[in-house]
Amino acid sequence: MEVRGQQIRKEYYRSGTGSNIFTAVEECDFLVPSGKLTVIHGRSGSGKSTILNMLAGILKPTGGSVFYDDTDLYSMRDEELARFRNLHIGYVPQGRSAVPSLNVLENVALPYALYEEDGEEAAAEMMERFGIADLSEVMPDRLSGGELRRMAIARALVRRPEVIFADEPTGDLDDENTVAVFGALRELAAAGAAVLVVTHEEDAFEYADHIYAMNAGKLE
Contact set with ligand ADP (CB under 6 A): 12, 14, 22, 24, 42, 44-50
- Read off the DSSP letter of residue 85: H
Q: Which is nearer to Mg ion, 51 or 158 (CB)?
A: 51
Residues 6+ apart with CB under 8 A from 103: 136, 137, 138, 139, 140
Cβ proximity to ligand ADP: between 45 and 63 the closer is 45
The CA–CA distances, whole Å, from 26 to 35, 48, 177 equal 27, 12, 34
In the complex, minimum distance from the CB of residue 47 to ligand ADP, in angstroms, rounded to a whole number: 4
Q: Which CB atom, from 49 or from 107, has the smaller least distance to Mg ion?
A: 49
Answer yes or no whether residue 49 interacts with Mg ion by CB under 5 A.
Answer: yes
Q: Does 107 bind Mg ion (CB under 5 A)?
A: no
Closest approach of ligand ADP to the CB of residue 113, in Å = 29
Q: How far is residue 62's CA from residue 23's CA, in Å, rounded to a whole number?
A: 10
Query: Which of the choices Mg ion, ligand ADP, none does residue 22 contact, using the CB cut-off of 5 to 8 A by kind?
Result: ligand ADP
Q: Are strands 37-42 and 210-215 parallel, antiparallel or unpaired?
A: parallel
The site map against Mg ion for 115-134 (x = CB under 5 A) is --------------------
With CB under 5 to 8 Å by kind, the binding choice for 86 among Mg ion, ligand ADP, none is none
Distance CA 124, CA 211 (A): 33
Asked if residue 178 binds Mg ion (CB under 5 A), the reply is: no
DSSP three-state, residue 5: strand
Alpha-carbon dihedral sign for residues 71, 29, 78, 86: positive
Residues that bind Mg ion (CB under 5 A): 49, 94
